Amino acid sequence: MPLEISEMKSLQTLSNKVVVENNDFFISGLRNLKNPQAEIYIDELQKVQSARDIQEVNVSQKRVSKLHMGWSNVFDDSRNEELEKEVLDVLKPHTDNLKDLAIVSYGGKLLPNWIGDPSFLRLTSARIEKCRNCMFLPPLGELPSLKKLVIYELNKVKVVGSEFLGTGIAFPQLEILSIKNMRGWEVWSTKSGVVGAVMFPCLEELYIENCPNLAEVSLEALPSLRVLHLSFCGDGLLTSLIHVASAVTKLSIHYISGFSDEVWRGVMDNLGAVEELIFRDCNEIRYLWESEAEASKVLVNLRKLDVMQCSNLVSLGEKEEEDGCNQLTSLRILYLFNCQNLERCNLPNSIEELTIFSCPLIASVSFPTGEGHKLKSLKIDNCEHLLEKEVLLNTSMPPLLDVVWIWSWKNLKSINELTCFIHITELEIRNCSSIESFPAADLPNLTSLKHLAIMDCKSMDVDSFGVWPPKLGSLSIGRLKKPISKFGPQNFPPSLVALILLGGSAEEDDVTGGSQLSHMLPSSLTKLFLYKFEKLESVSKGLQHLTSLQHLEIDCPKMKDLPEELLPSLLSLRIWYCPDELKEKTSRRGSYWPLISYIPHVRID
């Protein structure tokens, strides 16, 4: 930066980040910054040689709105704790205008009390991060307008108590509190001993992550808390918090040690207001409830349940009726992901969205039956033991379905008909190696279908493909029994604008030029992706009629040229794993450069 920067009297933002390299320049660069809307970001403050010099900057008279101060992230013998505290003291800004404050990698044991000075009437956001020597938190509870507070990686802080709260109403406006990576934290208490004291009256969201030693928790009620996220903590913290947060509507639990079935049942009794539950890496739990009847008495407002990577989970309920149960009537969305020992799943008729991904042992799913079921979205991926009879893709399926994904289901051998999917807008069938037949003749009857994907089904016969749904907007197809080049003429609707074509292996696919794909390329296309055509070398012919094309993406290892007449009008061009010849042509010295240099988004290999 030029030395004359100090003469810019109206400067509002001093760079994105000022790195202290030269002490004199740093001082002169800040001295004349006077604009009340200024934002100052300073890094490498450990290089400041004297706090007395910084007094010349007179930060306390500058009405900055944002002040972010950072030191080196290396804590070694070169750090001067006393000097860093002096520097932080004299960098106290004017109280009138400060809205956003961040202190990163400060090396002192104590943070100055000005950080919690109640005279900062407009301070709404504060962040204290990686201050690894700091042993106590300042009285941030006295900041009258603070709405968001982030405390991250203060590993020597063991106790958070009354010193954090200050006096009077603690954190009167705080809405979001996030405390992460406090590995030394052991005790948290909001009980000040003052009769009638109020703590966190407006707190809506609380995030505590990676605080494994926090065991002693003594908190006042949190009446406004709606979102509670706990990650890499102990079960005692969960139990303590849930007893003082009766209004929580979203509870997220990630890797809670000691989180057994018994602990969870005690927690569940306090979740009458919960609408969304998220479990992740809770590997000690085997059942979420004894029976759905039990759950329905407590989880009366539960609408969404996400269960991810819970390796010992066997079933949602320990006792399940074979014909399903319909007492958990509020549940609408269920997401099960990577639960390696999940064996079965019973669903209430109220379920609207079901997603089961990577649950290899699941063999039984009790889908809604009879009148009143509301299933609209069904997504299944990599559930190899799920039997075909469990999900009958025929007239017994709920008529309200509008999204169906069937991925990596090796036991699925056929789809009998599609006419039952009268409302379907999105259908994907991918990597189903055993499926042989597909009722393509029914496709024109799917008048609401807009997105269709049929890919990596090597046994599927495609002789009947040719006429497509009237409102189809995007199609992904390829790697079926017959290569795309042999599909024959296609009657695509004018609504089709996005097309992904997937080639077969080098032994199966004979496509070498774009003309062999022209029967699959309607002129209405605005997006075209060509993937894994192992022998495709040229698209200079066969794409000329795509005058509306805006986005072109190619992943074909032998591709040597591009459709020159289309390039100038493209908005994006992406070429993956291309040979050296094409790399050279698309380089700044290459023959294609004058054509592609004006494309807004270009990525080659």
pLDDT in tens, 148-171: 999 999 999 999 998 898 887 899
More confident residue, 299 or 415: 299
What is the tens place of the pLDDT at every residue in 375-402?
889 999 998 887 665 554 544 556 678 9
Give the mean pLDDT of 303-323: 85
Q: Is residue 580 part of a domain?
A: yes
According to DSSP, the residues that pair with 101 across neighbouring strands are: 67, 126
Separation of alpha carbons 29 and 62, rounded Å:
13
In a domain, 536, yes or no: yes
Q: Which among 4-8, 48-52, 118-122, 370-374 has the top mean pLDDT?
A: 118-122
| Percent of the chain residues past pLDDT 90, beyond the cut | 53
Please give the tally of structural domains in the chain: 1
259 lies in a domain? no
In the predicted model, what is the mean pLDDT of residues 503-525? 84
User: Largest Cα–Cα distance in the chain?
Assistant: 84
| Residue found by looking up tokens 């393509």 in the block | 440
Token couple for 524? 């209405």
Decide: residue 196, CB within 10 A, 0-12 exposed, 13-18 middle, 19+ buried.
exposed
Residue, of 335 and 79, whose pLDDT is higher: 335
User: Among candidates 367, 296, 378, 304, which has minimal Cα distance to 329?
Assistant: 296
Res 324 pLDDT > 60: no
Question: 144, 117 in Cβ contact below 8 A?
Answer: no
H or E stretch including 265?
A: helix 261-268
The answer as to whether 433 is a domain residue is no
Beta-strand runs (E) in 171-242: 176-180, 187-189, 205-209, 216-218, 227-234
The Cβ of residue 395 has, within 10 Å, a number of other Cβ atoms equal to: 10
Angle at 350 between CA 345 and CA 352, to 5 degrees: 80
Phi–psi pair at 513, nearest 5 degrees: -135, 160
Average pLDDT over residues 550-554: 96
Please, what is the Cα angle at 540 between 536 and 542, to 5 degrees? 80
Q: Which amino acid is at 271?
A: L
Q: Using an 8 Å Cβ cutoff, are 232 and 261 in contact?
A: no
Mean local confidence (pLDDT), 263-273: 91
Domain containing 575: what range?
A: 497-605
Express each pLDDT in 435-460 by its tens digit.
888 888 888 999 999 999 999 998 88
Asked if 412 and 384 count as a contact pair (C-beta separation under 8 A), the reply is no
Buried b / exposed e over 568-594, threshold 16 CB at 10 Å, is: eebeebebeebeeebeebbeeebebee
Q: Is the pLDDT of residue 216 over 90?
A: no
More confident residue, 275 or 580: 275
In a 13 Å sphere around the CA of 450, the CA atoms on its Cβ side amount to 5
* Of the ranges 20-24, 57-61, 70-74, the best mean pLDDT one: 70-74
Cα(228)–Cα(570) distance, integer angstroms: 46
Note whether residue 111 is domain-resident. Answer: no
Please state, in angstroms and rounded to a whole number, the distance separating the CA atoms of residues 241 and 221: 9
Q: What is the mean pLDDT of the segment spanning 230-247?
A: 92
Cβ contacts of 489 within 8 Å, gap of 6 or more: 466, 519
> Which of 65-79, 157-171, 173-187, 282-296 is modeled with the greatest confidence?
173-187
Its sign, for the CA torsion 391, 393, 399, 405, is positive
For the beta carbon of residue 523, count every other beta carbon within 10 angstroms.
Answer: 12
Based on the number of CB atoms within 10 Å of its own CB, is 5 exposed (0-12), middle (13-18) or buried (19 or more)? middle
Q: What is the pLDDT of residue 387?
A: 66
DSSP H or E run through 86? helix 81-90
Q: Which residue has the tokens 């805006």?
A: 550
Q: What is the pLDDT of residues 95-148, one digit of tens each?
A: 888 999 999 999 999 999 899 999 999 999 999 999 999 999 999 999 999 999
Residue at 129: amino acid letter: E
Predicted confidence (pLDDT) at residue 233 exceeds the cutoff of 60: yes
Q: Residue 170 domain-assigned?
A: no
Quick check: is 82 in a domain?
A: no
Q: Residue 201, exposed/middle/buried by CB under 10 A (0-12, 13-18, 19+)?
A: middle
Quote the mean pLDDT of the chain.
Answer: 86
Q: Which two tokens stand for residue 143?
A: 């900041």
Examine residue 605 and state whether it is found in any structural domain, yes or no.
yes
Amino acid at 281: D
pLDDT score at 419: 72
Neighbours of 528 (CB within 10 A): 24
Looking at residue 316, its amino acid is: L
pLDDT of residue 38: 72
